[in-house]
Amino acid sequence: MLRLALLAVLPAGVFALGHDRAVVDGMTIELRRYRASMPPAEVLARWPLEGTAGPERRSAGDWLVVSRLQGRLQETLQARPDGAGGSEVLLSRVDLRAPLAALVPPPFTLPAGSSVLRTIGFEEAAGRATQFVISLPGRPGHALPILCARLLERGWRPSGSRGCDGSLPTGPRWFLRGGETLAVDLRVDGARSRAVIGHVVPRP
């Protein structure tokens, strides 16, 4: 259970929004989302660092980030402006010694020369959602028909007019298989293609 260290330090002006768990490349990450009435710099300044090893502060886009190591646990606090003088806050915790979870394979056979760069899984009330980042050989115009052929072989069917039509506008393409949904966003990545694939399986 994720300890609510942030709430212990900021009992006023901090509101819990939700709790999630994600599995990133087999590593389980506990996530808690908050909204705070103070700006991001004050949120990070009040986060307790005493008794910890290796605190690190950095920026990532709009987010201010601080990380700390407590024994086997890696904690990361992120805060960014919410547009109303307060902050959006995300607190994550990873047990660095916990065994890795088994990776969920992509829901179709990858073309030869492909590789999975990242797998992110979420367990939700409605079902299981998994996002795959996949590197594919060839530019999108070459990779798309091969990818579509593999999807059709596994029983996926295009949804809408942009499934396997061969044109390459940006944005996702949708496929259905029974109650499952698949979204494919294919982009140029040097001499190769990079596909971000979202797969949702509803609970029985």
The reported pTM is 0.69
What pLDDT digit, counting tens, does each position of 92-111 carry? 889 988 888 888 899 998 99
Beta carbons within 10 angstroms of residue 196's beta carbon:
16
Tell me the CATH number for domain 115-202.
3.30.530.20
Confidence of residue 169 (pLDDT cuts 50, 70, 90): low
**Chain mean position to CA 78:** 15
- Contact (Cβ atoms closer than 8 angstroms) between residue 166 and residue 143: no
